Amino acid sequence: MKKMICLAVSMLVLAGLAAPAAEQSPPAVVSVPSEMKRVVLVRLKYNTDLLEGLRQAVKDEKITNAVILSGVGSVTRFHVHAVSNTTLPAKLAFGGHLHEGTTVFTFAVITLGVLDDNADLGRFDDSNWR
């Protein structure tokens, strides 16, 4: 393994590319290209927890990476975050997260765009990568 790492670094240097630094600051904009493999529509019925329903659909459909393309329906309860300060680190939490307790009223339909399983989205929700 050590020989492979040294070989890879040597190849980068020989190719005229800088070897990756151990601790680089993140770029201002990060983009990850990915093809959409398929579209999955998820229908949730009355009194279903929206987050738990989506978790179940992701498990059933064996989804690794997806984006929410659209959502329609109604809820009887919801949980929304609001960040209470404007300096880092943020207190409480970041907005936009879905939490348990968001309960479907009539019905809800969420459309998921399923991405390539190999798309590296690991740092997109990393609050320390700023």
Q: Helices (DSSP H) in 15-72: which residue ranges? A: 50-60
Buried b (16+ CB within 10 A) or exposed e, 106-121: eebebebbbbeeeeee
Mean pLDDT confidence for 66-73: 95
Residues 51 and 99: beta-carbon distance below 8 Å = yes
- Evaluate the CA torsion angle 72, 64, 49, 77 in order and state its sign: negative
pTM of the model: 0.68
Domains of the chain, start order: 32-115 (3.30.1330.80)
Query: What are the pLDDT digits (tens) for 31-47?
Result: 888 899 999 999 999 99
Tell me what the pLDDT averaged over the chain comes to.
79
CA distance 40 to 65: 12
